[in-house]
Amino acid sequence: MKKTGYHSITGTIHLLSGMRIGGSDDQLEIGGTDLTCIKHPVTKQPYIPGSSLKGKMRSELEAKLEKFGGNGNEPCGCGNCIICRVFGMHKPKAHNLGPTRILVRDSALLTGGETELKAENVIDRKTGTAMHPRKFERVVSGSEFSLKIGIQVWDMDGSCSHNGKIGDDALIEFVKEGLRLVQRTGLGSGVSKGSGEVEFRDLKLDGQPFQL
């Protein structure tokens, strides 16, 4: 097995709405924030963990391709599909796919980064009143984070295919599709309630501009 290529996708993640990716809430205070954003331990600036973006891309692609493991409750672990090839095996077992192809870096804050508190509650269907109020922290809209994704190519990828593309191009197209799906749905928690809408901007593939 031999590595035959490497491609990079770079750009910015622009928040169209507030976004929350959970931090540590080990020390809760009375009257404090119930759910906080993850922040760098030294700079205290919010960031987007690579695992969060990678996991959301994978789950969106699995849903589109209807590839799941564990009776539909776990990531795919078949060891034969392009999802397992690109994102790695879930619950690793014997396979011939080689190493994980995608490398998703943590996204550092570029601009913005202020946080806001958003309140939410549960509505009592009988009385119409709000119950169980709580506050959660999210990064304000307009903030931007770096996007850095690497795609490793091995000699066994020559026959890989996706959407009519082969080899390197198939792997790249599959990663692009994952980004398109995340842009359609959102990133982080609370996407069904208005949070986490993102747009990938200033995208470059190996230094050359491209559009999703």
Contact between 109 and 148 under an 8 Å Cβ cutoff? The reply is: no
Q: Tell me the pLDDT tens digit for each residue of 119-160.
A: 776 676 777 676 666 788 999 999 999 999 999 999 999 999
Q: Tell me the pLDDT tens digit for each residue of 12-21.
A: 999 999 999 9
Q: Which residues does residue 137 pair with via DSSP β-bridges, in sequence order? A: 117
Would you state the torsion angle of the CA atoms of residues 204, 196, 188, 111, taken in this order, to the nearest 10 degrees?
Answer: 60
Asked if pLDDT for residue 28 goes beyond 70, the answer is no
Q: Where are the beta strands (DSSP E) in 62-143?
A: 102-104, 109-111, 115-123, 130-139
Give pLDDT, residue 202: 98
CA distances for 160 relative to 10, 76, 129, angstroms: 23, 18, 55
Cut 0.85: pTM above it: yes
Give the H or E element holding residue 166: strand 165-166
Would the CA dihedral through 108, 113, 115, 118 be positive or negative?
A: negative
Q: Tell me the pLDDT tens digit for each residue of 179-207.
A: 999 999 999 988 988 999 999 999 999 99
Q: Tell me the pLDDT tens digit for each residue of 70-94.
A: 676 788 888 889 999 999 887 766 6
Share of the chain above pLDDT 70, in %: 87
Asked if pLDDT for residue 30 goes beyond 60, the answer is no
CA distances for 125 relative to 119, 122, 132, 135, angstroms: 19, 9, 13, 21
DSSP string, 72-85: GTB----SSSHHHH
